[in-house]
């Protein structure tokens, strides 16, 4: 099973479980059914967004801990500066 198939399968599982609860096929106490269940998709979306922002921030924070990527990026920057300088563009230097 590919990663895409696995992701789609898990998404369909959670969607069917949510619909079963939302349509009251599987019931919970009235307070949970009326106040918690309707906002679960929004809560999941916000939580997923927060997770992705954390992963992005952590990647930026630990970027210098990846020496190979740092060296590669710095060489690409130097190459781009050389190409632009050859074309007569003033790029400045750090």
Enclosing domain of residue 22: 3-87
- Higher-confidence residue of 57 and 89: namely 57
Q: Does residue 38 fall inside a structural domain? A: yes
| Number of domains the chain is built from | 1
The pLDDT score that the predictor gives to residue 38 is: 94
Instruction: Give the pLDDT confidence of 3-61 residue by residue, as tens digits.
Output: 999 999 999 999 999 999 999 999 899 999 999 999 999 999 999 999 999 999 998 88
Q: Does residue 20 fall inside a structural domain? A: yes
Q: Does residue 93 fall inside a structural domain? A: no
How far is the C-alpha of 86 from the C-alpha of 88, rounded, in Å?
5
The 10 Å CB-count burial string (b at 16+, else e) for 49-61 is: eeeeeeeeeeeee
Q: Does residue 92 fall inside a structural domain? A: no
Question: Which pLDDT band holds residue 64 (cuts at 50, 70, 90)?
Answer: low
Q: Does residue 16 fall inside a structural domain? A: yes
Q: Does residue 94 fall inside a structural domain? A: no
């Amino acid at each position: 099973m590919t990663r895409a198939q696995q992701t789609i399968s898990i998404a369909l599982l959670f969607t069917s479980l949510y619909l079963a609860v939302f349509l009251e096929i599987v019931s919970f106490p009235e307070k949970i059914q009326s106040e918690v269940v309707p906002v679960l998709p929004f809560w999941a979306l916000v939580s997923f967004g927060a997770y992705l922002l954390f992963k992005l921030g952590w990647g930026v924070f630990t970027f210098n801990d990846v020496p190979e990527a740092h060296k590669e990026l710095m060489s690409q920057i130097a190459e781009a500066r050389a190409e632009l300088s050859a074309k007569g563009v003033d790029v400045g230097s750090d």
